[in-house]
Amino acid sequence: MPSRARTLSAPIADIFVSVQGEGVYCGQKQLFIRFAGCNLDCCYCDEPAARTGAKALRLTVRQLLRAADLLLKNNPAGDVSLTGGEPLLFPDFLNALIPALKRRGLRVHLETNGTLPHAYAKLGRKPDVVAADIKLPSAAGKALWQEHAAFLRLCGKRAFVKAVLHSKASRGEILKTIETVALVDREIPLIWQPATPHKVRKISSAPGSLVKWALAQGRKTLADVSVKRQMHVLWGVK
């Protein structure tokens, strides 16, 4: 690893081995590296500590790899998820980390809010899988359609999309989400994820009738649309 890469550091909120609870790879054992810090503040954020960076440790690439090696020695996994917070806030760090993870034979997944195309474009070695969110304006507090479209155009076939449906999601936002994916590539899988109810943040899921409607609308246009809940919450694992 070049000497500059060795000294790069990023705030890491957590590193652990668990089972993926969302998306296309739900149920797969993975190493999770959770970055701290985020450029958004979604109303349903289930990782507030990772978003703000509270309790995060600043680690160099070398320190992080050492921790990953140790965890995988005791609890092997073939895939690693770079998650957050928002990992793409640290593209230089990822440029050192991703090749090192791939050299270890790990398949690299990037879990991202899908709003930072310029940071993604900076990555020399791309992740193998990109789990990209589309954030509805009712959740993020602003429209991000252009950023999402630009991001998905860069990812192509590596990407699948997840959009969280909470109680304030509107039909217009749902149609715009479908249109945004379809205009890039109608083969990109889209997963509607009903929000996990949260008492403290006063979040409730979209009504079942709206989720069914979103599924039916998506299937009119896209090749692969499904509904999946956050399973790790039900399983009681992080």
Residues at the site binding ligand SF4, with contacts judged by CB under 6 A: 38, 40-42, 45, 47, 50-51, 84-86, 113
Please state, in angstroms and rounded to a whole number, the distance separating the CA atoms of residues 127 and 82.
Answer: 9
Task: Give me the least distance between CB of 120 and ligand SF4, in Å please.
Answer: 15
Task: Give me the least distance between CB of 135 and ligand SF4, in Å please.
Answer: 7
Task: Give me the least distance between CB of 134 and ligand SF4, in Å please.
Answer: 11
Please state, in angstroms and rounded to a whole number, the distance separating the CA atoms of residues 6 and 62.
Answer: 6
Nearer to ligand SF4, 89 or 174 (CB): 89
Beta bridge partners of 225: 190
Nearer to ligand SF4, 125 or 201 (CB): 201
Nearer to ligand SF4, 65 or 151 (CB): 151
Nearer to ligand SF4, 42 or 65 (CB): 42
In this structure, what are the phi and psi dihedrals at residue 201, rounded to the nearest 5 degrees? -85, 0
Please state, in angstroms and rounded to a whole number, the distance separating the CA atoms of residues 96 and 2.
Answer: 9
Please state, in angstroms and rounded to a whole number, the distance separating the CA atoms of residues 44 and 164.
Answer: 9
Task: Give me the least distance between CB of 197 and ligand SF4, in Å please.
Answer: 15
Nearer to ligand SF4, 25 or 44 (CB): 44
Distance (Å) of CA 91 to CA 88, 170, 172:
5, 33, 33
My answer on whether omega of the bond before 218 falls inside 30° of 0, hence cis, is no
Please state, in angstroms and rounded to a whole number, the distance separating the CA atoms of residues 188 and 178.
Answer: 10
Task: Give me the least distance between CB of 143 and ligand SF4, in Å please.
Answer: 15
Nearer to ligand SF4, 41 or 187 (CB): 41
Number of Cβ within 10 Å of residue 172's Cβ equals 11
Please state, in angstroms and rounded to a whole number, the distance separating the CA atoms of residues 88 and 68.
Answer: 19
Closest CA to 31 of 94, 83, 77: 77
Task: Give me the least distance between CB of 38 and ligand SF4, in Å please.
Answer: 3
Nearer to ligand SF4, 166 or 190 (CB): 166
Please state, in angstroms and rounded to a whole number, the distance separating the CA atoms of residues 83 and 15.
Answer: 10
